[in-house]
């Protein structure tokens, strides 16, 4: 029971992104499906989406035993598609917050539908990705099944946090029943029947044969596929092979295959997908519907995006004079207007204190002159009180001067002060149709500020008064368009700052990769002198840019800017900056750029926390998703900086190794637990990413619909075309060295003890335990947890073993202990290895032993029970082993030893016969007869 309680608690963790989906009386409403702006106009995409969801609604209704259906869906149409009378305006919906994205794959990787999942069991996913070909080409139905079934498969990933019940990395496992071993396909349920086939193709001619065993793995050989019978009796499972006509259910407790080596078992503690769904908030907040079909047919709203409209609403109250805030605001807003806001956007500026004032009505960014004109309206002085609602209303007024409504517009609201009257405009904000991004500056910004962002789907950003963190510049730099058009968006390559002593140097390297280089800016800021420091910038070909090449505006005397003409050179750009002032000062380097090509997507980074608010002592998780197009970038170095409201910043290295907070190895999502809480209040997240040509590469998405190799119909094997793959060489050739910086926004922490924290975090759960037989010994391996989750070093391990998987899961304490007295934990992230001889078990062919492990720290806090690892001893029949034959076997399969025995026996028989004949003849002829001649 205790294990299951911890399993249920996983569902209390908030999801990573703020989906707008609502569940009302079993019907899902406000599902957002966004079509990528790069796709050409094709209304068949819309029609097929509608047909898919309508059919999926009925399928989901029956699969969930008359509990859920799809009631209302919004489809976002790209700006460049021709407008139609039935298209409505987007409001707070946007491409980057959509539940489903329709976009081309990168590198023609294929059409696998998949769901991007960040978190563990029961945690909602980020989005579902469908390619246009998947929605348009009916021939893919034979590979994935109907689109409706695929959508339900992916919806279960997205909404309920279940995982796939197949495993491309471990497609087979050893199953032992009644002492008899066999190799089985990783599937759920185990009742799905089929054959194990290897297909070989030369040109258009293909042959198939039965799979053989591999001598090394004792499983089936590489290239072996499980080909299912088209006609099945098994009803489950949608998370394995939703394409089978008979499959209409999720695996439940009675049909679940807990022996299968899949992510569902690993991540959900061997519970079935239906058990996970039943423990979700959705299930607990709904009742079964007494109807044979969904009570409503799915309705659709078509929403079209429009030009980006942004109004800066900037606090100029008296407190903005302190800590150099008004000048820092100017610096940061200038970078936003010159480098971040996309061309074609409309921008206005409002300032507020006790009252509000329009500084600039909406102007469209069509030239650098417009950008410069907007900068001239940025505030340079401050004074007065703080009335946030007046600022917001004045921002709305600016937008309404051009547009009849506020739908889809954005406000960037910055304030450093408290305002007790904010509640007076909350309802107005919520119903406005405008998105409000909030920037809290300093420790006293109104604690209610984030409500504006929560209600409208805006970003929540925070900047401290620490000058050497670039917090305010990073906040403005993170407010890029949510349109999904990465070719237009500004990408931050560098943002670093530090205090530099008199006559000392700040130097560094910024790598410009081949995916960016257009509209590239190098910006140097400083905080004391009115004259710039000495700057030297050298491009990869040796061309040098000195201070005189940088522009310092008359209005902003502490910023020097260099815009590189054309496309910047690919490679390492080196800079040296000397503080020529008479006192120490903080100097910073900020570099931004845009995509070099409309056809090659740039490397991008999205940083997040797993939740926006947290109560101590619950930990948090930092995520950084690094990708190019829709493919994950592997092998990067990712450093996260968390800056608290008070106290020094904390640096953490995020990992993509499938241990600790990182649930999946090599998925491009780098993760780490965060537990270093320095007090209550806001925290700011920023990540630095560095990729080097020799270590980074692109990977493949996981949590995807199964690509079915073929089917068996009426005894005939009908194979599908092999799944398209991209070679590692091709992937590697597309990616070089790069630098990126991204803001992860802000989060708020409460209930941190004022007198400091004690050790309240146990070691994290081990999720990558593996076991195997090595002769008469057992070898275990796993990644070491920490003292506090995945940081530090645990004190000791407890390892248990059992011949029953479920007994080990349910009653870990009662299982047989393994002697670990010689096992000393290594620091977190280290690969552990432990070998021992199982004295209490007789190891023979067919033996299966299960293992689990817990870690204990020096405060006697104990981790959760790890994933359960299986060690199976299975000796397949020798005649089924492919490859080279043993030396005592000849080509026709006859054993040499047997031949020797047969020949030897024959010789002996001949000798006996000859000897007997001689004796008889000798007696018959008498002693004196003629000699017998041989």
Q: How confident is the model at residue 879 (pLDDT cuts 50, 70, 90)?
A: low
For range 874-895, the mean pLDDT: 51
How many residues in the chain? 934
Predicted confidence at residue 180, as pLDDT, reads 67
Helix then strand then coil, % of the chain, to nearest 5: 20, 35, 45
Average pLDDT over residues 20-26: 96
SS3 per residue for 261-294: CCHHHHHCCCCCHHHHHHCCHHHHCCCCCCCCCC
Phi, psi angle pair for 914, to nearest 5°? -65, -45
614 bridge partner residues: 749
Task: Please confirm whether the linkage preceding 834 is cis (ω < 30° from 0).
Answer: no
- Confidence class of residue 925 from pLDDT cuts 50, 70 and 90? very low
Per-residue pLDDT for 897 more than 60?
Answer: no
For the chain, the average pLDDT equals 90
Contact 672, 661 (CB under 8 A): yes
- Report pLDDT for 880: 56
> Mean pLDDT throughout 157-171?
95
* Rounded Cα–Cα distance for residues 763 and 140 (Å): 45
251-254 own/partner pairs: CB under 8 Å, 24+ apart: 251/165, 251/188, 251/189
25-39, 56-70, 802-816, 873-887: range with lowest mean pLDDT: 873-887
**pLDDT for residue 5 is more than 50:** no
Report the alpha-carbon distance of residue 381 to residue 391 in Å, rounded.
17
Listed in sequence order, the residues at least 6 apart from 105 whose beta carbon sits closer than 8 Å to its beta carbon are 111, 131, 629, 630
Q: For position 217, what pLDDT does the model report?
A: 83
Of all residues in the chain, the percent with pLDDT exceeding 70 is: 91
**pLDDT (mean) for 759-763:** 94
Q: What is the pLDDT of residues 28-42, one digit of tens each?
A: 999 999 999 999 999
For the stretch 338-382, pLDDT in tens is 999 999 999 999 999 999 999 999 999 999 999 999 999 999 999
Instruction: Count other C-beta atoms under 10 Å from residue 557's C-beta.
Output: 14
Task: Please report the pLDDT score of residue 113 as a whole number.
Answer: 95
- The residue whose two tokens read 């029943």 is 177
Give 75's pLDDT tier (boundaries 50, 70, 90): very high
Half-sphere exposure of 855 (CA within 13 A, CB side): 34
pLDDT at 3 over 50: no
CA distances from 32 to 18, 162, 606 (A): 12, 21, 20
pLDDT band at 107 (very low <50, low <70, confident <90, very high): confident
Helix 147-160 × helix 43-63 angle, to 10°: 70
**pLDDT attached to residue 673:** 97
Mean pLDDT of 651-675: 95
724/478: higher pLDDT: 478
| Contact present, 472 and 440 (Cβ < 8 Å) | no
Residues labelled catalytic: 154
Q: Which uninterrupted H or E stretch holds 870?
A: strand 869-872
pLDDT interval class at 99 (50, 70, 90): very high
Residues 397, 401, 405, 408, CA torsion sign: negative
Task: Give 494-533 pLDDT, tens digit per residue.
Answer: 999 999 999 999 999 999 999 999 999 999 999 998 899 9
What CA–CA distances, in Å, run from 845 to 173, 218, 258, 343, 817? Answer: 15, 12, 22, 69, 23
pLDDT of residue 14: 37
Please determine, for residue 933, whether its predicted confidence score (pLDDT) is greater than 50. Answer: no
Nearest residue to 173 via CA among 101, 226, 135 = 226
d(C-alpha 321, C-alpha 361), whole Å: 25
The pTM of the full predicted model, rounded to 2 decimals, is 0.90
pLDDT at 774: 87
Q: How far apart, in whole angstroms, are the C-alpha atoms of residue 549 and residue 562?
A: 7
The C-alpha angle with vertex 147 and arms to 261 and 232, in degrees rounded to 5, equals 55
φ/ψ of 637, rounded to 5, equals: -100, 120
Mark 690-706 as b/e (b = at least 16 C-beta within 10 Å): bbeeeebbbbbbbbbbb
């Amino acid at each position: 029971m205790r294990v299951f309680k911890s399993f249920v608690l996983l569902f209390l963790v908030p999801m990573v992104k703020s989906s707008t989906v609502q569940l009302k009386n079993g019907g899902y409403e406000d599902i957002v499906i966004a079509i990528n702006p790069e796709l050409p106009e094709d209304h068949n995409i819309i029609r097929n989406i509608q047909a898919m969801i309508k059919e999926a609604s009925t399928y989901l209704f029956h699969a969930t035993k008359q509990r859920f259906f799809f009631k209302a869906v919004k489809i976002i149409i790209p700006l460049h598609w021709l407008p139609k009378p039935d298209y409505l305006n987007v409001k707070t919906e946007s491409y980057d917050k959509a539940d489903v994205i329709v976009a081309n794959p990168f590198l023609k990787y294929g059409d696998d539908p998949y769901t991007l999942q960040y978190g563990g069991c029961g945690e909602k996913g980020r989005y579902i990705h469908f390619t246009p070909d998947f929605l348009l080409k009916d021939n893919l139905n034979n590979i994935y099944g109907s689109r409706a079934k695929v959508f339900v498969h992916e919806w279960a990933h997205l909404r309920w946090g279940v995982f796939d019940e197949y495993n491309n990395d471990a497609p087979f496992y050893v199953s032992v029943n009644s002492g008899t071993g066999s190799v089985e396909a990783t599937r759920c349920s185990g009742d799905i029947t089929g054959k194990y086939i290897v297909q070989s193709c030369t040109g258009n001619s293909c042959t198939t044969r039965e799979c053989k065993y591999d001598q090394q793995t004792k499983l089936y050989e590489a290239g072996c596929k499980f080909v299912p019978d088209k006609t099945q009796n098994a009803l489950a499972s949608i998370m394995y092979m939703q394409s089978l006509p008979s499959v209409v259910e999720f695996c439940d407790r009675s049909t679940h295959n807990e022996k299968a080596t899949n992510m569902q078992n690993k991540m959900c503690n061997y519970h079935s997908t239906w058990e996970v769904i039943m423990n979700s908030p959705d299930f607990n907040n709904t009742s079964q519907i007494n109807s044979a079909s969904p009570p409503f047919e799915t309705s659709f709203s078509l929403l079209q995006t429009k030009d980006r409209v942004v109004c800066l609403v900037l606090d100029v109250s008296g407190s903005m004079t302190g800590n150099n805030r008004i000048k820092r605001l100017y610096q940061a807003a200038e970078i936003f207007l010159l480098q971040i806001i996309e061309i074609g956007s409309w921008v206005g500026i409002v300032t507020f204190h006790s009252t509000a004032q329009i500084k600039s009505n909406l102007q469209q960014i069509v030239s650098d002159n417009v950008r410069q004109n907007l900068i001239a309206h940025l505030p340079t002085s401050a004074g007065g009180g703080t009335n946030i609602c007046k600022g917001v209303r004045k921002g709305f007024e600016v937008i309404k001067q051009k547009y009849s409504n506020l739908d889809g517009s954005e406000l960037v609201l910055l304030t450093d002060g408290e305002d007790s009257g904010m509640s007076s405009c909350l309802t107005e904000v919520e119903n406005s149709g405008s998105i409000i991004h909030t920037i809290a500056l300093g420790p006293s910004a109104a604690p209610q500020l984030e409500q504006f962002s929560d209600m409208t789907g805006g970003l929540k950003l925070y900047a401290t008064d620490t000058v050497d963190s670039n917090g305010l510049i990073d906040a403005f730099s993170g407010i890029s368009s949510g349109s999904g058009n990465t070719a237009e968006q500004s990408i931050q390559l560098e943002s670093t700052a530090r205090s530099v002593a008199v006559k000392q140097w700040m130097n560094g390297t910024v790598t410009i990769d081949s995916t960016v280089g257009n509209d590239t800016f190098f910006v140097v800021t400083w905080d004391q002198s009115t004259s710039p420091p000495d700057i030297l910038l050298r491009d990869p070909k040796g061309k040098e840019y000195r201070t005189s090449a940088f522009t310092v505006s008359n209005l902003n005397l502490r910023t020097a800017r260099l815009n590189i003409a054309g496309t910047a050179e690919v490679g390492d750009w080196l800079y040296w900056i000397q503080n020529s002032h008479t006192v120490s000062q903080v100097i910073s380097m900020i570099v931004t750029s845009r995509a070099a090509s409309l056809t090659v997507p740039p490397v991008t980074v999205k940083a997040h926390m797993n939740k926006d608010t947290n109560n101590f002592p619950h930990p948090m998780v930092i995520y950084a998703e690094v990708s190019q197009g829709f493919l994950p970038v592997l092998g990067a170095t990712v450093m996260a900086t968390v800056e608290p409201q008070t106290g020094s910043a904390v640096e953490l290295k995020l990992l993509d190794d499938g241990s600790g907070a990182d649930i999946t190895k090599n998925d491009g999502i780098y993760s780490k637990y965060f537990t270093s809480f320095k007090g209550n209040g806001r925290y700011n997240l920023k990540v630095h990413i560095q990729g080097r040509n020799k270590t980074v590469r692109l990977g493949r998405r996981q949590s995807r619909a199964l690509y079915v190799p073929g089917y068996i119909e009426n005894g005939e094997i009908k194979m599908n075309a092999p799944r398209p793959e991209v070679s590692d060489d091709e992937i590697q050739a597309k990616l070089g060295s790069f630098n990126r910086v991204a803001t992860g926004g802000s989060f708020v922490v409460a209930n941190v003890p004022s007198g400091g924290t004690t050790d309240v975090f146990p070691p994290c759960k081990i999720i990558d335990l593996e076991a195997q037989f090595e002769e008469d010994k057992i070898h275990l391996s796993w990644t070491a947890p920490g003292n506090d989750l995945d940081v530090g070093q645990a004190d000791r391990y407890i390892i248990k073993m059992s011949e029953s998987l479920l007994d080990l899961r349910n009653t870990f304490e009662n299982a047989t202990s393994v002697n670990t007295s010689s096992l000393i934990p290594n620091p977190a992230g280290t690969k552990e290895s432990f070998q021992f001889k199982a004295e209490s078990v007789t190891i023979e062919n067919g033996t299966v032993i299960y293992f689990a492990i817990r870690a204990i720290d020096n405060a006697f806090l104990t981790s959760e029970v790890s994933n359960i690892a299986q060690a199976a001893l299975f000796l397949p029949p020798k005649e089924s082993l492919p490859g080279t034959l043993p030396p005592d076997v000849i080509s026709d399969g006859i054993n040499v030893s047997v031949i020797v025995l047969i020949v030897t026996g024959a010789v002996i028989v001949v000798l006996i016969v000859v000897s007997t004949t001689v004796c008889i003849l000798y007696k018959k002829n008498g002693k004196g007869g003629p000699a017998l001649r041989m």
